[in-house]
Amino acid sequence: MLHLTVHRSESEGTEYWLTRPMITVGRTTVNDVVIESMGVAPNHARLTLTETGDAYRIEALESILGTFVNGQRIRSAILEPGDRIRFGSVDAVLTDEPSPMAPVAEERDAVQKAIVRIAELEAQLKSRENHLGDVSRELALRNGEIAQLQTDLQQTRVALAQSQQDHAQTETNWRNHCNGLNSELKEAHSQRETLAAGAADLQARLEDTERRLAELDESARKRVQRGHETISAFRRQSAKQENDLREARYEIMKLRQGKEAAETLLESVKRCYARDKKHHSRLVEQFRERAREDSLRAEQAMLQLARLTEVVQAPAETSRM
């Protein structure tokens, strides 16, 4: 069995049998191997049984002077029988000799197997404790996420209710606005009918003016013809006829000006009617576009509520399982 011989002086040494899976070395009495030397730290080193159970691993801890194996400073190393170890300023030797406490080989093997089994159980226990801590932290994290999701769900429900209220208010406002637009449209139709009646009257007057203009043109032509035929006989009447001709032309000019004014007024009436019709179409299209946008926002809010509900229900179902 392995044992460690610590040489406190050239003539004095203390043997420690390595019968535990983990052995600590230091200056304080809480250690398994106590070395009362100022060159040794309170918790100087640790020896841990390997998985095979036939060797120890040495690890340097909080020592200032360090830990040496066969003259080399180490942080961690596997020890073998015959290795010379120095803890700070104190030397030690690891040997493998029959133990007076376990002279029988079967008992030694049973003890080492038990030590290995204890180490395995301690490792499993530590692993289970770490896993339990991870599960506890994960459960706390999940509970925090569920609480946050519930808060977000409540806020989303409040936002959805506010959105529905805003949508209803918007719909009411638009209905009132549409009623106002319908009233304005009816008034525009009435004005259009009035303008159409005025345009018909102007058209009738224009036709009458054109007829009179044609009659005057025909009368003037006849007068000019008669004047040319009788110019030699009625020379003294030529001045009067020329005066009549000038008056006729002046009247024709006024009639033509009246015709142009009537055409201008008719064109203005047509532009006014086209502008009113275009304005009404634009207002109706704007109302339909805003109604579609409000409906789309309401659908998006419902989809978000459904997704949040699924996210909240999924962790709850997982925890039940």
d(CA 102, CA 226): 167
d(CA 274, CA 66): 101
Coil/strand/helix, residue 26:
strand
Residue 11 tokens read as 């003539």
**Per-residue pLDDT, 140:** 81
Global pTM reads: 0.34
**Per-residue pLDDT, 276:** 67
Mention every residue, 6+ apart, whose C-beta is less than 8 A from residue 68.
Answer: 74, 85, 86
Run of H or E residues at 242:
helix 238-320
Coil/strand/helix, residue 106:
helix
Mean pLDDT highest for which of 104-118, 186-200, 288-302?
186-200
Output DSSP code: residue 189.
Answer: H
Name which residue leads in pLDDT, 298 or 105.
298
Among left, alpha and beta (phi > 0; psi -120 to 50; other), residue 81 is beta
Count, in order, helices (H) and strands (E) of the chain.
2, 11
| Confidence at 259, pLDDT banded by 50, 70, 90 | low
pLDDT digits (tens, 9 = 90+) for 11-64: 678 889 888 899 999 999 999 999 988 889 999 999 999 988 889 999 999 888
Burial of 93 (0-12, 13-18, 19+ CB in 10 A): middle
Angle at 87 between CA 53 and CA 99, to 5 degrees: 40
**Per-residue pLDDT, 287:** 66
